[in-house]
């Protein structure tokens, strides 16, 4: 399956709610995903595809308090706990829109989000998932194998979209344990050979990335 991200251009709202003990929590709310609408990446998620993916994410991640997301997209589907900025507390349908609510956490990345919000920076959200595509009448439809990994907070929608639509075209992912994925480079229709392993130094990652680009 491919890594698929979708930026939502709808403006988000921010609210502060007082919790027990006088602590104030910052929330981000708005449209988190959309169905039956061709997005900026030229893709369409039908309700039949998106509904079970959202339901699974809510039941397994949101309700259990594990639905965390990052500030900006990482280069893969796995959640990096050191980059977590928020926890998604609610996802519900309103027509073809998936309305969401996220609590900004007191993590280093969460503090950055709070600082940006207080400074008047308009942030957005972008879904991160795994799936495959099928072409119909010149439009890419996300197929029913779609799996929603999380929803990240992003500032520049062009960067992640360009990354997914271009460079990541030749990469597929396999889940080797719950919530953790291994990327493999594809060449034509054959699988490769060399997994992209997480945990390398920046120099190793750079060398591996250049090697990856040479295979495209």
Active site residues: 73, 126
- Asked if 139 contacts 38 with a C-beta cutoff of 8 angstroms, the reply is yes
Q: DSSP string covering 96-123, please?
A: TEEEEEEEEPSSHHHHHHHHHHHTT---
Starting from the edge strand earliest in sequence, which strands make up the sheet with 68-70, in order?
A: 13-18, 24-34, 97-104, 84-94, 68-70
CA nearest 45: which of 116, 137, 140?
Answer: 140
3-state secondary structure at position 165: helix
Q: What is the DSSP letter of 71?
A: B
Alpha-carbon distance of 199 to 28, in angstroms, equals: 31
- What would the two tokens of residue 20 be? 């027990």
Alpha-carbon distance of 173 to 131, in angstroms, equals: 9
Alpha-carbon distance of 30 to 113, in angstroms, equals: 16
CA nearest 116: which of 156, 69, 161?
Answer: 156
């Amino acid at each position: 399956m491919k890594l698929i991200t979708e930026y939502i251009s709808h403006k988000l709202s921010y609210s502060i709610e007082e919790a027990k003990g006088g602590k104030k929590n910052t929330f981000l709310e708005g449209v988190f995903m959309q169905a039956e609408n061709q997005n900026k990446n030229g893709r369409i998620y039908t309700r039949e595809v998106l509904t079970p993916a959202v339901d699974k994410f809510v039941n397994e991640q949101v309700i259990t308090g594990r639905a965390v997301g990052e500030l900006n997209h990482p280069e893969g589907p796995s959640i990096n706990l050191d980059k977590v900025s928020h926890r998604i507390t609610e996802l519900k349908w309103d027509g073809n829109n998936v309305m969401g609510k996220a609590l900004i956490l007191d993590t280093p990345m969460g503090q950055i989000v709070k600082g940006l919000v207080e400074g008047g920076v308009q942030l957005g959200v972008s879904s991160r998932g795994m799936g495959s595509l099928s072409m119909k009448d010149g439009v890419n439809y996300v197929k029913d194998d779609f799996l929603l990994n999380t929803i990240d907070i992003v500032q520049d929608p062009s960067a992640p979209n360009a990354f997914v639509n271009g460079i990541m075209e030749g990469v597929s992912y396999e889940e080797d344990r719950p919530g953790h994925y291994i990327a493999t480079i594809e060449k034509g229709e054959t699988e490769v050979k060399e997994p992209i392993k997480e945990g390398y130094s920046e120099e190793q990652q750079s060398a591996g990335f250049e090697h990856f680009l040479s295979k495209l």
